[in-house]
Amino acid sequence: MHYDPHYYPSASRRMVTFGKRGMVATSQSLAAQVGVDILRKGGNAIDAAIATAAALTVVEPTSNGIGSDAFALVWVKGELHGLNASGPAPKGISCDAVKALGHEEMPAHGLVPVTVPGAPGAWAALSERFGKLPFEQLLAPAIELAEEGFAVSPVASQLWESAVKRYGQYQAAEFIPWFTHFTSNGQAPKAGDVWRSPDMAKTLREIANSHADAFYQGSLADAMDAFSRQHGGFLRKEDLQAFKPEWVNPISIRYRGHDIWEIPPNGSGLIVLQALGILESLDDQSTDPV
């Protein structure tokens, strides 16, 4: 069936999905199914979100990484909680240190701009405070996808190819492991290709079995420290050891009778609240922000 938003101008604003047993929305159906399965096994929404996030690092690896940051808004028992798991810059970095490497501005890619990854710490913190199922169980589906393989989706294939082209312009040795791990002879997988990542499965298993401690204090931290030193990066094990996700008080604004909540800075949610505040100040209910 073809849907024409011009023929049904208000339909897009009225389309609502309802469910009585919970739902999971992601950019990739395999990851969504992981979250649904966790709900069926007795997990709560937080469990499902953690499992889904971990699965996305496998099935959409050029869009979601184990080394990502993470932010969360969690509504539990009538109270809203905020989690900021965006890692800080390494202690050893500075403007002078970056310029000494020949950069006039912070590069967009490579080891120099790398900050402390926050996602694994966020998964563990959310699980410990609000989860129902064991942490190991939440990462098990992602590990299975990485070990047994999955059919690459058309969208993921396109994004994968874009990443190959983007990183292919760099000749530095620090990019070689990315191509070794995420490509086959330098080529991105095509839609429908079965992709396996045993090394990623091993990493996720270490995170799962240690409640992320291996990532910040153990063998994975040692590996990141060694690689960063070898290729001129600034990240060190002491930076990883010092990291803790931060529980924060969400901030909000009243917009057209609704409270809109975001994570406070350093998250960029403040920009959304500022924009809504400007719209609200116009006091023109005929204005369609969509």
Query: Is there a domain that residue 106 lies in?
Result: yes
* pLDDT at residue number 11: 47
Query: Is there a domain that residue 136 lies in?
Result: yes
Do 289 and 160 fall within a single domain? no
Q: DSSP letter string over the chain?
A: ----TTTSTTHHHH-----SS-----SSHHHHHHHHHHHHTT--HHHHHHHHHHHHHHHSTTTS-TT--EEEEEEETTEEEEEEEPPPPPTT--HHHHHHTT-SS--SSSSTT-----HHHHHHHHHHHH--S-HHHHHHHHHHHHHH-EEPPHHHHHHHHHHHHHHHT---GGGHHHHHHH-BTTBPPPTT-EE--HHHHHHHHHHHHHTTHHHHTSHHHHHHHHHHHHTT----HHHHHT---EEE--EEEEETTEEEEEPPTTSTHHHHHHHHHHHHHHT-TT----
- Amino acid 37 reads D
Do 196 and 275 fall within a single domain? no
Pairing of strands 246-248, 194-195: unpaired
Do 260 and 224 fall within a single domain? no
pLDDT along the chain (290 residues), means of 10: 42 66 90 96 97 97 93 96 96 96 93 97 98 98 98 96 95 94 95 96 98 98 97 97 97 94 94 94 64
* pLDDT at residue number 195: 97
* pLDDT at residue number 9: 46
Do 133 and 269 fall within a single domain? no
Query: Is there a domain that residue 1 lies in?
Result: no
Do 112 and 34 fall within a single domain? yes
Number of domains in the chain: 2
Query: Is there a domain that residue 13 lies in?
Result: no
Do 262 and 203 fall within a single domain? no
Q: 77 is in which domain, residue-wise? A: 21-249
Query: Is there a domain that residue 2 lies in?
Result: no
Do 128 and 242 fall within a single domain? yes
* pLDDT at residue number 8: 41
Do 141 and 51 fall within a single domain? yes
* pLDDT at residue number 281: 85
Structure tokens at 153: 């989706």
* pLDDT at residue number 290: 58
* pLDDT at residue number 15: 66
Query: Is there a domain that residue 9 lies in?
Result: no
Do 277 and 230 fall within a single domain? no
Task: Please identify, among 218, 233, 249, the residue that sits at the C-terminal boundary of a domain.
Answer: 249
Query: Is there a domain that residue 289 lies in?
Result: yes
Do 188 and 269 fall within a single domain? no
Closest CA to 280 of 262, 252, 255, 261: 255
Do 110 and 186 fall within a single domain? yes
Query: Is there a domain that residue 77 lies in?
Result: yes
Do 177 and 289 fall within a single domain? no
